[in-house]
Structure 1
Amino acid sequence: MSSNSQKGSSEHSDRRKYEFRKVIEDLKEHTGSGTQLVSIYVPPDQMISDVVAHVTQEYSEASNIKSKQTRTNVQDALSSIKARLKYYDTNPPERGMVLFSGAIDKGGGQTDMITEVLENPPDPIESFRYHCDSAFLTEPLEMMLADKGLYGLIVLDRREANVGWLKGKRVEPVKSASSLVPGKQRKGGQSAQRFARLRLEAIDNFYQEIAEMADDLFVPKRHEIDGILVGGPSPTKDEFLDGDYLHHELQDKVLGKFDVAYTDESGLYDLVDKGQQALADAELTADKQDMEEFFKELHGGERATYGFGPTRENLIMGSVETLLLSEDLRRDVVTYECPEEHTDRELIDPRHETPEHTCEECGEPPETVERDDAIEHLMSIAEQRGTETHFISTDFEKGDQLLTAFGGIAGILRYQTGV
């Protein structure tokens, strides 16, 4: 989440990511008594018939498993996956899919077979992968759900330079250059003054070459890029930045300059390590802006709401401009309706059973009970009312306060409502 505009335009994506995150959290809680939990990652260019053939082959090879229970469970999981694949024609969904199946431990020697298919993950599946273990393979999906960012990387000294990308957590070296800058020792016959001038010209030409590489790579992405890190020894990186060699729109996106010993491709990785704090601050910028606005309205304005009940009521009225939800909020909302048509709602831990309840107005027991995920419940109302939803990280003080002090739910209003 790098900017408010990106948040607004990716609201549907944020909801999908939340849904994926919930499924992944559930999958990570499951274990098998042996290597019997199957995970299959299918890239978008993989033919479904090839996947079916691979599953069939694995089913045949599973007959060699010594443990009868493990053998049966693996084959049952593969049969379940094969049955799910029948719903697909020739190709997987646009960004591929991931299939999970296996007999999970329920305690007391009991197991329960589950099968989960996740279509169109946040990023395309890059390669086919079959994995059978005592836990489901969720790490590749978790990497996709990590905070994303697109950052430009430049490392340079007076001998060489490398330019590349940081995409999420992946460093991609792209371009490199070597200089013709002469060493500090002048060759015979040259005056010191002339040699110094030639050396400065060579340095200037090399800086221009580096800037041209960076401009060619970064300028076309200048509206998507979240920031630029520059690394190298002093005074090289300082000369480069102070000399305004970079395109002016890129210059404005420089997050910081860092001392890096190497300027080959490995220097790009060192630069990312040195710039972790700047990257973290940049990723949280939009979240911090949201919370600053919320606290400003809370303490000095009249356009703040918080807590499940008041925020929900304002959402229904259509008065919420921005719904703020903590990324770490995990609550269910239970709706009770009594015979007198009174409605109560309360938030509970999703791991707990629905508690007994009596109507707050008439004391009667509820006639019907509905239970939903609280975030999905609120986001559904927000979507109907044209309200943007922003997920807020807990990795900074005010973001943590949203969860701990305000129940993980708040909103910035379009106008004062008195609710």
Structure 2
Amino acid sequence: MSNSSSKDSNNNKWDSVKRYKLTKMINELSSISGHGTELVTVYVPPRRPIFDVIGQLRNEAGTASNIKSDLTRNHVQDALSRTMEHLKLFRETPENGLVIFCGAIPNDKGIGKEKIELFSVIPPKPVQISLYRCDDHFWTDHLKEMLKDEKVIGILAIDTTEAGLGILTGDRWETVDTLTSGVAGKHRQGGQSARRFERLRENELNEYYHRVADHAQKVFIDQYNVKGIIVGGPGPTKDNFLKEEYLDYRLQNNVLATLDTSYSGDEGVREIIDKAQKDGVLAEFRVMEEKQLVKKFMSEVHSGRGLGIYGIFDVLKAMQGGVADLVLITSDISYVKLDFKCKSCKTVQEKVVDRAAIISTKQDMSSKPCPSCGATDYEVTEKDIVDYMQELATMTGARLEVISGQTEEGAQLASLGKAGAILRYKPVQ
């Protein structure tokens, strides 16, 4: 786990790489359990003066002198001292505030051999609380909440046979519920029986529409609190449903679009999302951007022009050569870059391996002599593959995008090695 400190408070647009890194850091911090109440968490809201926070922590350091355990007391005081020194780097509180995690991180060397580490981040949204905690775990919940997408869109795909209710948020969508109507098809015969049949059918439709509206309220308002709703389906059913105002007024007044589709139910939800993308209704949502990016990449792969490549090693080679223009990787990619630096001559050997192969790679390298001087004593450093690829992208002007591994697009990319790129030009063989 690497320390994270961001001072780009003027950049309010959190791209996929920043979001990936913060999510990764939060997940790793959430998994840490201290040996005692020695892990410090500090949330600083935007307008709170830095000197005020330092003063509070100085008082806490004095209180920590009363801790009975020598080890815990030293760890807490060291963590507070490190946190105060870090705060002095800021002349004023960043625009969105500041979150700091600091403490003695357990390792495989045993109790008493822990190393004090500090992790600092300027969050994507303003910090809403002023918090100091010294506990056996880091308090990450407030930061997790900031990463949740505020806008959730409801999707309703309806006709006279079935209805599908789905939600779209951030980089994922799902069908939450489906209902069948039980309404009979239209009667083809004439006479009184036909009129009676139509009245019964209208009553069944009315009851069905009320059931759909009740489910919509429970799913879209009570469960997900959507910011808007898109209604679609084949034929005039959706229009009649909206015209008669069966929906709760909070949904009725927030219909973003009405779309004609070939299907209702589960397939209809999927079709509405695809059509909304083409019509620009959902252009602001990350899932739509990911669909466009993967579609562009897949089209290039199948074009036969040789500008669409995939597989982590081919993509890295293209980035290192400066020919990669757009690079896509899945959020669940598990590779790391290992640097083996010879302690004698400082020669560095690089290896990109799956996380599962880190130990075996280190063991294998420990028996191989340095190609420059023949020594076998190395200093090893690890770097997350996304961090390494971002460095390459920055140096070469490539665009790096992290695609959610939980979507259909992520699955498509995963089938090609979880990494792909569109090249600026086809390199000479």
TM-score range, shorter chain: 0.5 to 0.7
Equivalence for 1:96: 97
In the TM superposition, residue 53 of structure 1 has moved relative to its aligned partner by 2.3
TM-score by length of 2: 0.58
State the Cα deviation string for residues 352-380 of structure 1 (Å, max 9, x = none). 35523469x99x88998775432222222
State the Cα deviation string for residues 44-89 of structure 1 (Å, max 9, x = none). 2111122122213323443454555434433332233223333333
Q: Does 1:308 find its partner at 2:312?
A: yes
Letter in 2 for 1:288: K
Equivalence for 1:112: 114
Equivalence for 1:228: 228
**Number of equivalent positions:** 316
Q: Does 1:285 find its partner at 2:285?
A: no
- Relative to structure 1, is the Cα distance of residues 292 and 229 closer, same or farther in structure 2, using a 3 angstrom cutoff? same
Letter in 2 for 1:53: G
Equivalence for 1:332: 336
Unpaired runs of 5+ in structure 2? 1-10, 156-167, 172-225, 232-237, 265-271, 277-281
State the Cα deviation string for residues 14-57 of structure 1 (Å, max 9, x = none). 33333333433432332112222110001121111221222133
2:416 equivalent among 395, 400, 406: 406
Equivalence for 2:29: 27
In the TM superposition, residue 121 of structure 1 has moved relative to its aligned partner by 1.8
Once residues 65 and 335 of structure 1 are traced to their aligned partners in structure 2, the CA distance between those partners, rounded to angstroms, is 41
2:353 equivalent among 333, 344, 347: 347
1:132-151 matched pairs, under 5 angstroms: 132-146=134-148, 148=149, 150=151
Once residues 67 and 344 of structure 1 are traced to their aligned partners in structure 2, the CA distance between those partners, rounded to angstroms, is 43
1:46 equivalent among 48, 61, 75: 48
Equivalence for 1:185: none
Once residues 377 and 113 of structure 2 are traced to their aligned partners in structure 1, the CA distance between those partners, rounded to angstroms, is 34
1:390 equivalent among 379, 389, 401: 401
In the TM superposition, residue 153 of structure 1 has moved relative to its aligned partner by 8.1
In the TM superposition, residue 240 of structure 1 has moved relative to its aligned partner by 6.1
Once residues 88 and 260 of structure 2 are traced to their aligned partners in structure 1, the CA distance between those partners, rounded to angstroms, is 51
Q: Secondary structure at the match of 1:284?
A: helix
- Relative to structure 1, is the Cα distance of residues 80 and 387 closer, same or farther in structure 2, using a 3 angstrom cutoff? closer
State the Cα deviation string for residues 376-397 of structure 1 (Å, max 9, x = none). 2222222333321111111124
Q: Secondary structure at the match of 2:353?
A: strand
Aligned residues of 2:49 and 2:93 also touching (Cα < 8 A): yes
Aligned residues of 1:337 and 1:366 also touching (Cα < 8 A): no
Unpaired runs of 5+ in structure 1? 1-8, 155-165, 170-225, 259-274
Q: % of aligned pairs identical? A: 28
Letter in 2 for 1:140: H
In the TM superposition, residue 135 of structure 1 has moved relative to its aligned partner by 0.8
Letter in 2 for 1:374: I
Equivalence for 1:56: 58
Equivalence for 1:296: 299
Q: Secondary structure at the match of 1:51?
A: helix
Greater shift in the superposed pair: 306-315 or 43-52: 306-315
Once residues 56 and 371 of structure 1 are traced to their aligned partners in structure 2, the CA distance between those partners, rounded to angstroms, is 35
Aligned residues of 1:149 and 1:283 also touching (Cα < 8 A): no
In the TM superposition, residue 238 of structure 1 has moved relative to its aligned partner by 4.5
